[in-house]
Structure 1
Amino acid sequence: DLKQWSQSRLQKYFGRMGVYYYGIVRGEDERQVHNNRTRKSIGAETTFNTDLVATEEMLARLQLLAEKVVGVLQKKKLTAKTMTLKVKFDDFQQVTRSHTEHHVFCSIDAILRRLPQLLDKTEAGSRRVRLLGVSVSNLKALDGQDPTPEQITLL
């Protein structure tokens, strides 16, 4: 195991690469990360301190989440075709319900029109809800192209 070796021993054995190996086995790497993945979806979710029981409260919380999602869509100049509702109940059972529109959308109104219907297709209202989430997918740039890869920030 190279982590057991001193830097001088690694240098003696591997030459200049010994310094590199010494850092790498300790999780030190200054190389820039390059991401070639294209974003597939944009979403927001929240877990509640107190489980929700009223659908009106759920819809109010879903509106806030949808506003966050639309904000990212607009900032990134993207549109979507599919929206997904995520519901986690108090027993940790999780369900999702999705709908794909015929045309792309990027407005809050398009999402808010569909969310009540998606929520009605779950047991929300008759079961306690601990988490709600909204996401959009089938993303396209406003110019109709596929989104370009982007660098993801960790912090």
Structure 2
Amino acid sequence: MTLTEEKGSVARYVTITGTRSIPAEAEAELPGLFDAYLQPFATPDAHFYLGGAIGIDTTALDWLADRSQASLTVVVPCTVTDQPAGAVASIRRWEQAGRLARVVELRADRLGTDAYHARNRWMVDRSGFVIGFPRGTDQTRGTWYTVNYAADQGKPRLVVPV
């Protein structure tokens, strides 16, 4: 087997993380950002882990499900029904369309920062690469928490500010 064949046979596992609040001016730019920064990794042998919240989670899910053949797993801290209505609708739509490889409900006792961090660690622990779409530079925010967690594990990261 050649190096090219070997690289092509190894599935990529990628975590997507990002802000839940997307400024209106940035929302129109997201398809272009995804074209530039997700598309190169969205090969048929890729597997993406996405949180099931609104914002980047749902927008990236919709973009990947519609524009790629990559496998998609949505991970939620509690249950899908605990997510905002728009996120639930997106998850259910792609689940019914057969685009989701899996939906993981971690069943945390309550929704909050600890549950979101546990969800993000779960995704990063199963990934070899993290793409973060943070809003701002506040290192206490969830997206930065996830990117820094991946850094602590020595995993490559791509940060695309929104």
- Structure 1 length as normaliser, TM-score? 0.26
Structure with more of its chain in strand, by fraction = 1
Indicate the structure whose relative CO is greater, using CA pairs within 8 Å and at least 6 residues apart. Answer: 1
> Structure 2-normalised TM-score?
0.25
